[in-house]
Structure 1
Amino acid sequence: MKNPITVTTHVDAPVQKVWDVWNAPEHSVNWNAASPDWHTTEATNDLREGGQLTSRMEAKDGSAGFDFTGTYDRVKEHKHLAYTLSDGRKVTVDFRANGNTTVIEERFEAENINSRELQQQGWQAILDNFKKYTESL
């Protein structure tokens, strides 16, 4: 992985619940946003090696939007996801069970448009939203 950025969180939930919420499109539309003025309007997830994940992310005021798409390279249930984004960048997500807590570590290759700091803040904000949402279920 070239020039990776890492974000992490500890979710107060068992790994099976964390895995299920992470991978269910009906849940991802509730947490997958980097700021309150953005949201995910639709998502799909074909959770298998060679399968695709997609999210349509849009500004709530309709001023901007983009499709986030990737293809799974590896899927190890309750443990690891690796996928390649449509622009060729790599992403890995590791789930580590620790009793009723799950540590999530997400690593992704930086893109060249936004600063590393902005990318890290955005991905961390999404991960923080995931933690808050999952713990509320």
Structure 2
Amino acid sequence: MITVQNKVNASIDKVWECWTSPEHITKWNNASDDWHTPYAENDLRTGGKFKSTMASKDGTMSFDFVGEYTLVEQNKTIKYVMPDGRKVEISFTTIPNGVEIIEKFDPETVNPEEMQQAGWQAILDNFKKHVEQL
């Protein structure tokens, strides 16, 4: 598994809301400024599904990032599985002055693991920036 993490200077309720609400997901879910997420849906419950459309801003590329939740514990843990069987687990831990988010995921086999870690870390960094600017 690959791990990325960050500390967000906000309350657990605010972090959870921004992580799980489609109106927020579309504002932070990108790894670079030339990509964005024009669409997101989220059925946040064990057995629920989510979909985020990630697209290049120039319109030349896009893909849907989808999964099914295997565990949702509000303000604590999210686990999901992607269609190819890869698993992701995210923990939210209240710490002094904020929340620590640790995200672990099974790598895919096309891109180098370092590239995958950098991309997921960039998205998590954008999440931190989004929440702390609210």
Confirm or deny a common fold (TM above 0.5): yes
Aligned to 1:17: 14
Q: Does structure 1 residue 130 correspond to structure 2 residue 124?
A: no
Q: Deviations over 1:22-48 (max 9, x none)?
A: 000000100000111110010000000
Distance 1:126 1:9, change over 3 A: same
Q: Does structure 1 residue 97 correspond to structure 2 residue 106?
A: no
Q: Does structure 1 residue 5 correspond to structure 2 residue 2?
A: yes
- The answer to whether the Cα contact below 8 Å between 1:14 and 1:99 also exists between their aligned partners in 2 is no
List gaps (5 residues or longer) in structure 2.
Answer: none
> What TM-score, normalized by structure 2, do the two folds share?
0.98
Aligned to 1:109: 106
CA RMSD of aligned residues (A): 0.7
Percent identity over paired residues: 51
Secondary structure at the residue paired with 1:49? coil
Distance 2:46 2:40 in 1: 18
The runs of at least 4 consecutive aligned structure 1 residues that moved more than 6 Å come to none
Secondary structure at the residue paired with 1:34? coil
List gaps (5 residues or longer) in structure 1.
Answer: none
Q: Does structure 1 residue 79 correspond to structure 2 residue 89?
A: no
Q: Deviations over 1:79-111 (max 9, x none)?
A: 000000122100000000014310000000000
